Structures are given as structure tokens and as C-alpha cells.
Chains A and B, each alone.
Chain A
């Protein structure tokens, strides 16, 4: 059975017609299922955990990156497939999975399921990237060596979108069993053009040896004082489109 989780903002007038279109298309394709609408009295964690106990065939998140990211962090390692129907302003995760508002229902019907790795900051999952901010960050990588790099942007990347800038050809793949540490420093640049120096290091586990650090997960949620960053290999079963970006 399919479980459809509607984000709370879908009740707004401007999204009604789009939601009706999705519902009509889902019915046409014979994919109807139970609908769970989020609201002030219904928390996402209660909904997802409750539904996972019933072992549904698919949990479908209807909403934007924020909802998808929160659903993923609750579903990681469950073995239940995740479907995404993007509605709303920011849909980078769906874009990376090759899903857009037009093809979403067909992608759901085609049911092309792959297993992808998830990144974990302590026990919070992320799909694309986690940025670490703080002063004098020191990291221990895979128990073998430490890295320090002051005044730089430090990110752990699971996969990049096509328009994300990276100075390497070999782009991170979320099926590799590794995450990639991407350290970027802005160089002295010309009047119009910025130049960057970028370090790129594959890893499986990273311990944060600095206290005052924050991790921003998929640019959506923040974890204060994280201690550990790791990979959950094949942690998520997800339905993807043909145009997925990895």
C-alpha cells in the first residue's frame, strides 16, 4: 500500500490545483493509498513511525526539500521505498533524484527503485551534503589521520547536483559507500572572477575534534556540536527518475 504524506503548507490556496492534479493522476495510474496530512496536531515523526510499523509498500512525500529531508531522516534503514512528488519552492533533492512536478507520478508508477547511501551527522541523516561551520575545525578521518583547514568552507558530500560547482571530474556517487570531504577556500581573485582552491577527500567516518561546531544538513536543518559524521551505506530505498543526477 502507498502512504501519501502531505506537507502542511499544501493546504494553502495557491497549491490546491496542483494537489488536485496530483491526486487525479495518482488515481488514474491506480496508485491510490492512504493520505496523511500534516498539521499542528499531527507531527511527522508520529506519522512516519506509525506507518512504518504497518510495513507499507511505499511512503510518498508530497512537498518540498524540507519534508523530503525530514522523512528520509525518519525512514533511513527501514527498507521501505520512498517516493517523492515535489510541490513548493525548493526541490533540489527531487531534482537530484530525476523527479520534477511533471514526471513525478509517472516515476512513481514506473517504480525504478535504487538503494543510495545516506550521510549521518551523529544520528541525523542527510541526503546531499552537510556543511560544518566553526573556528579552527579539526577532523579525524577514518581513524587514520587528522585534517585542519582554518577559514575554509568544509562540507561532507554524498552527491552533487549538475549545477553544483566542483573542481573534480569524478563527482561523488551516493552508491559508492563513501562520503567526500570537500574543503573550499576562496583565493585572491580578480575584479569579476572568483577563484577557488578545493580539496577533495573520500571517507567513511569522520570524528569532529572541535567543540564549537555546527552542521547544516542539506541546507535545511542544523545540528549543534556534532561529534561524528559517517555514511550509512545503501541506507535508503528510493524511487528515481531516468534523469537522476548520479
Chain B
């Protein structure tokens, strides 16, 4: 259901591949591989295939795509997460969310549409169909 080795409770600085501290401001297409922690300010776009952790002090004006995520800060933009997304009590999201599994703590703010049409599941279903087609072709 989740990406392999997805850290469900969040990640520490020691485990992250990319860290944006509170004093750092990023503008543009911030595309990275691996787990990422954002505690600063980001304008533009954030994309990672790993885990994205958005800290309490962070301010993000960007569309966000991630493998899995935990949000404790403020996001102005649409959020698309393939696996699991956790919104903690301090999270504020002004935008639409597309996610497979969502956890929302009491106090979190979500102003936007939430779609749980399961991005990952869609891909899995498609893969299953493709594999069935391939089997049928082999049998024929």
C-alpha cells in the first residue's frame, strides 16, 4: 500500500537527504529525490518521490507532489501524495488534496477539496490489467 520503507511517523534530520531550514527561502521548481524536510519558505513547486515533511514554521506557496508526507506547516497550493499523508494539528492547507490514505489530527485546517481516488491504487489497477492482458496474449 505504501512506498517501500515509508516512514509513517515522519523523519528526523539525520535521515533526510534534503533539508530546507527555517532561515532558507527557496523559489522555483524544487525537485529532489529521496526524503525531504522543509522548515523554511518555498515558492513555486515541490516534488519528491520520497517522504516530504513540512515543519510547523514552514510556509509553502507551491503545488506539492510527494511519495508520502507529513504536514505540520502552511501550504498554499495543491497537494498530491501517492501513498500516505498525515496532517498534524498545526497543519494549514489552502488547496486541493489528492491522496491514497489520509490522517487528519484534530485542529488541522483544510480549505479545499479532498480526493481519495487513490492515485497509487489506480496505477496498481492499471498494472494488474496490463499483466492480465499480457497473460491472455501468451495463452492465445
Question: Contact partner of A146 among B13, B14, B26, CB < 8 A?
Answer: B26
Task: Name the distance in Å between A190's Cβ and chain B's nearest Cβ.
Answer: 19
Q: B11 to chain A: closest CB distance in Å? A: 11
CA distance A61 to B23 in the complex (A): 41
The proximity string for A residues 117-157 relative to B, scoring 1 for CB distances below 8 Å and 0 otherwise, is 00000000000000000000000000011111111100000
| Residues 186-209 of A at the B interface (beta carbon under 8 Å) | 197-202
Please, which residues of chain A bring their CB within 8 A of the CB of B27?
145-146
Known: A145-B44, A167-B13, A169-B15. A197 touches B23 (CB 8 A): yes
- In the complex, which residues of chain A have a beta carbon less than 8 angstroms from the beta carbon of B14? 167-169
A170 at the B interface (CB under 8 A): yes
In the complex, are the beta carbons of A197 and B26 less than 8 A apart? no
Chain A positions within 8 Å of B21 at CB level: 149, 183, 185, 197-199
* B35 CB to nearest A CB, Å: 10
Known: A167-B14, A168-B14, A169-B14. A144 touches B19 (CB 8 A): no
Question: Considering only CB atoms, which chain A residue lies closest to B38 in the complex?
Answer: A199
Contacting residues, chain A, for B40 (C-beta < 8 A): 199
Given A197-B21, A199-B40, the answer on whether A145 and B29 have CB atoms closer than 8 Å is: yes
Interface residue B110 (Cβ < 8 Å from any Cβ of A): no
Q: Distance in Å from the Cβ of A137 to the closest Cβ of chain B?
A: 11
Give A201 to B39 CA distance when docked, in angstroms.
13
Are A201 and B18 neighbours in the complex by a CB distance under 8 Å? yes
Contact with A147, one of B13, B26, B29, B32 (Cβ below 8 angstroms): B26
CB distance from B12 to the nearest CB of A (A): 9
Which chain B positions have C-beta within 8 A of A151? 23
- Counting from the closest, the 10 A-B pairs by CB-CB distance are A145-B28, A199-B21, A169-B14, A197-B21, A149-B24, A200-B19, A185-B23, A144-B29, A199-B24, A146-B27
Question: Which residues on B are within 8 Å of A, measured CB to CB?
Answer: 13-32, 39-40, 44
Please name 12 pairs of A and B residues whose Cβ atoms are closer than 8 Å in the assembled complex, sorted by A. Answer: A146-B26, A147-B24, A149-B23, A151-B23, A152-B24, A168-B14, A168-B16, A168-B19, A183-B23, A185-B23, A197-B22, A199-B21
